[in-house]
Amino acid sequence: MRHEDVWRAIDALAAENGLSASGLARRAKLDATAFNPSKRTGADGRPRWPSTESIAKVLSATGASMEAFASLVSGSPALSRGSARAARRIPLIGLAQAGSDGFFDDGGFPVGGGWDEVSIPDIADPNAYALEISGDSMEPVFRDGDTVIVSPAAPVRRGDRVVVRTRRGEVMAKELLRQSAKRVELASLNPSHPNYAFELGELSWMHRIVWASQ
């Protein structure tokens, strides 16, 4: 068990529940800064680990099992374990493919026969789909090869992780920083990648990421 893997698991659990790290801490009734990146290393530069009490509160607040959390820590492929929660199969493509023509209709719903399939937890949205992450722009929350489940029907709020498609055909996964009547501001999960801002007319659609598997 490595220090960075435990913290990545906490970030991933937050993302699965549509929360930031601070939002997850608040839901678990911890100090809002408990999971901030600055708290993960001590003043002397030594790694600081989350307490077992904090992890227990997080699991209780999210309804996640210890087994599920251990899978996030170890990087085991939770989507393929065949758990009882896997209720149905949904379309799957790679994020890099998603900008190509023929995969989505004008409403952002998956269409065509070029999709693979993956089993998912019980998500009510009949138009939900899955994207396989490629590259490092979503690290440390989502890594290359991770799968995210996207729900076009889920309401989108500030701080949610989202997938957006621009009118020019670009598809990207980001965090919603702010949305006004005219403009959308998006943050890259990896601080080494730039943030983006779009006029509403520049976007075809924006869907919320509701679940993730490492």
Q: Along the 214 residues of the chain, how does pLDDT read in single tens digits?
A: 788 888 888 888 887 777 888 889 999 999 989 998 888 888 888 999 999 999 999 999 888 888 778 877 876 544 443 443 445 678 887 787 787 777 888 778 888 777 887 766 566 678 888 888 877 877 777 888 888 889 888 888 888 889 999 998 888 888 999 999 899 999 987 888 899 999 999 999 999 988 876 5
Domains identified in the chain and CATH numbers: 3-76 (1.10.260.40), 88-213 (2.10.109.10)
Q: CA 201 to CA 85: how far, in whole Å? A: 38
- Evaluate whether 161 touches 174 at the Cβ level (below 8 Å): yes
User: 10 Å Cβ neighbour count for 192?
Assistant: 8
